[in-house]
Amino acid sequence: MSNPKAYAELTTLIKRAHALGTVGELLGWDEQVNLPPGAGEQRAQQQAALAEAAHAAASDARIGGALATLEADAAGLSDDQRVVAKHARKDYDRATKLPAEFVREKAAQDSRGYHAWAKARAADDFGGYAPVLAKNLELATREAGYLGWGGREYDYMVDKHDPGMTAAVIGRLFGELKRELVPLVREIAASKVKPRDDALRGFSTEGQRQFLREVTERLGFDYNRGRIDVSLHPFCSGTGSDVRMTTRLKEQEPLDSLFSSIHETGHGMYEQGLRADELGTPLGQNAGMAVHESQSRLWENQVARSRGFWRHFEPRLRELFPTQTAGVSTDELYLAINAVHPTLIRVDADEVTYNLHIILRFELEKKLFTGELAVADLPAAWRASAQELLGLTPPNDREGVLQDVHWSGGSFGYFPSYCLGNMLAAQLWYRALALRPALEEDFARGDFTWLLGWLRENIHTQGRRYDALELARRVTGEELSPKSLLRYLRERYGALYLR
Ligand code: ZN
């Protein structure tokens, strides 16, 4: 018989800590969407005060007490309670095992790191950034040590974003993917079929807003429990019944805003699909970044770049933009939607090439942690790797090692999630098709309810119960692997470029 009083106390306290965390997210959203330019300093103070309160709530000694009581009688816990206790223990240890002095040092370094990176990138000066990177690596190594991951520092960084994942597993999956993806990208790049770069121009932002609102609502985003606004970089934050997405609108690049909105909608529908009765406990939280990305990528790519999807939405696009689409045939539109152009910049990469950008970053950051690669040698290693994987050599570090913000704030181990998410998305896609072969016929009718319902049941409402590897096994009946992703890329892009 478990201790109901200890369990109730545990969930009350972790829900409170979670609620404070969501307030911080809301302040962050507001900062990027609404904040008056002169309010930056005041907002930084509000954020710092809130972060302190949130940390105090997450490290409340009563959480430790309740956990100890429950763990002493673990056999008495139900399955659900065991999931909650297991993850609450992990969160509690992360909140309490870092010395206060270290937390202060890291916070100061994160903010310094961001500014040093922005400056170095603008000046194309890796030398100015190298000491920051070295310091961030040292802090990451110390953090792993405090939490008992000494000797497995990079695994710790990976586990922070994707519980249960390890560098060895990722290395094997990425190796298999790389072998077949590099030649596929070369073949497509050499294809005589070229999308028209100038096909879609002059789309009013008002019309784009209207179209993306109709699309995302039809896919299943609940605007009664979320909203979409404009920010410099699109993102999605919030959870449960208050999900905040953003997009950006460019008149000359209507597909950019549409597809980034659909991507964020995938994230948003995942958060909206979590169990409301468990909001703030591990049963009502997402399962990590790879699973999150699998949801955004599935809707953005497998669904919204399909013929079925466009059979439904193309007439509406032409109705809203009659002059802009007049000279563009259905096939030209579809090719523009599925354009492939190898590029040096990750955030501009198409769906096929994108994975190679991630493999590059994973291989380098792993070597930084094992000591096989010194920070000073990073720019040269980046150039060599870009040539090997993408067939392109960056002419400067701005288009090479200085392009991403992640490492400046110590976010190592984050990049692999994107590619793991792509693998899981493709695997889920083929499983969904096996269960419902006429899925694209649903899309052509504007009906996305079966797919969303299936994801709700198998992924969203499971919370943190299963990690990405276990989820893949349970939902698709197969181990996570790049096989489905390669099959999908060959089927969709082979049909367009390699006829
Ligand atoms: Zn995403």
Query: And the tokens for 282?
Result: 């591990």
**pLDDT tens, 440-498?**
999 999 999 999 999 999 999 999 999 999 999 999 999 999 999 999 999 999 999 99
Lowest mean pLDDT among 58-62, 98-102, 177-181: 98-102
Question: So what's the pLDDT on residue 5?
Answer: 95
Note the pTM of the prediction, 2 decimals: 0.96
Mean pLDDT of 279-298: 98
Cα angle vertex 134, ends 128, 135, to 5°?
A: 100
Which single residue is written with the structure tokens 């009350």?
Answer: 12
268 Cα to the center of ligand 1, angstroms? 10
Question: Is 217 a known active-site residue?
Answer: no
**Is residue 1 over pLDDT 60?**
no
* Dist. CA 470 → ligand 1 center (Å): 21
pLDDT of amino acid 338: 96
DSSP assignments along 225-262, one per residue: SEEEEE-SS--EEEETTEEEEEE---TT-HHHHHHHHH
Residue 65 CA to ligand 1 centre (angstroms):
37
C-alpha of residue 75 to centroid of ligand 1, in Å: 38
Percent of the chain exceeding pLDDT 70 equals 100
Q: How far is the CA of 239 from the centre of ligand 1 (A)?
A: 15
CA atoms within 13 A on the CB side of 166: 5
For the chain, the structural domain boundaries read 4-147, 167-497
Distant-in-sequence, close-in-space partners of 59: CB < 8 Å, separation ≥ 6:
92, 95, 96
% the chain with pLDDT above 90: 90
pLDDT of residue 165: 97
pLDDT in tens, 33-70: 999 989 988 888 898 889 889 999 999 999 999 999 99
Please list the alpha-helical segments (H only) found in 393-466.
416-435, 439-444, 449-458
Q: What is the pLDDT of residue 111?
A: 78
Catalytic option among 264, 278, 351, 365: 264
Average of per-residue pLDDT across 366-391: 97
What does the block give as tokens for 427?
A: 């695997």
Q: How far is the CA of 78 from the centre of ligand 1 (A)?
A: 34
Q: 8 alpha carbon to ligand 1 midpoint, in Å?
A: 34
Ligand 1 centre to CA of 191 (Å) is: 29
Residue 281 is classified by DSSP as S
- Report the pLDDT value the prediction gives residue 2, as an integer from 0 to 100: 66
The residues near 179 (Cβ < 8 Å, ≥ 6 apart) are none
- Which residues are found with C-beta within 5 Å of the ion, ligand 1? 296
CA-CA distance, 456 to 363, in Å (whole number)?
34
Least confident of 14-18, 196-200, 244-248, 354-358: 196-200
Cα of 12 vs centre of ligand 1, distance in Å, is 30
- The two tokens of residue 67 are 């956990």
Averaged confidence pLDDT in the chain? 95
User: pLDDT grade, residue 369 (50/70/90)?
Assistant: very high
Structure-token pair, residue 63: 């959480």
- The CATH class that applies to domain 167-497 reads mainly alpha
Q: Enter the DSSP assignment of 279.
A: B
Q: How confident is the model at residue 47, as a pLDDT?
A: 86
